Amino acid sequence: MVTKLIPIPSDDNKIYRQILGVLNFITRLTDQEIDVLAEIIKLNHEYSALPEDKRARFILSTDMRKDMRNVLDIEEKQFNSLISRLKKKSFMGGMVLNKVGILHSELLFKPDAEGFKIEIILKKGAVSIIKTKVESPKQDIPTEIVIDNIKTFTDIPAGRPEGFTEDDDFNFELSAPKE
């Protein structure tokens, strides 16, 4: 397999937008949705000391929405529409933002001092899924994806990404750079 590393310069102000831009082949967000979601992810990390549900309510409070609109230079009506659309978008089997504004767990990526590393493997051939019965949700949940007898993922969230088929020939992994 041919490997190509592409270092991309970044900083704290644009890294979340850049990560979402790279993942946009999965998320299929508009530029404004990416801007708003990047700001929400950034604020989610800034206020991580708050419990998750209170943090979500705080970030989407009237005052914080106003601050985000000012930073992003978006009118109130448009901003509220973008939040509403993000609550309807799915990502890796869950909603980007749930009804109360909590971010999907796979969008809680946090760069370290060096940055953030994304590995995308475009694998030719079919992807097979190993399913495990789970009592609580009463559904089959993929726990591992195996390509040519090589385990590539574990602990996949419940559900499948929108548009997923077993013939899809790509996978990816997000991780912080190793120190």
The mean of the pLDDT values for the chain is 78
Total domains present in the chain: 2
* Structural domain boundaries enclosing 151: 117-175
Q: Which of 107, 128, 156 is the last residue of a domain?
A: 107
First to last CA, the chain: 25
Look at residue 32 and tell me if it is in a domain. Answer: yes
Q: Is the pLDDT of residue 129 over 90?
A: no
Closest CA to 98 of 46, 48, 40: 40
At 83-111, the pLDDT tens digits run: 999 999 988 888 999 988 999 988 988 88
132 and 157 co-located in one domain? yes
Q: Which of 89, 107, 125 is the last residue of a domain?
A: 107
Query: Mean pLDDT lowest for which of 41-45, 65-69, 90-94, 147-151?
Result: 147-151
Q: Can you tell me the mean pLDDT for 144-155?
A: 50
Helix residue ranges, H only, 87-162: none
Look at residue 64 and tell me if it is in a domain. Answer: yes
Distance (Å, rounded) from C-alpha 121 to C-alpha 79?
Answer: 34
27 and 96 co-located in one domain? yes
Q: Can you tell me the mean pLDDT for 149-155?
A: 49
39 and 100 co-located in one domain? yes
Distance (Å, rounded) from C-alpha 122 to C-alpha 176?
Answer: 20
pLDDT for residue 172: 55
Q: Is residue 125 a contact partner of residue 148, using CB atoms and an 8 Å limit?
A: yes
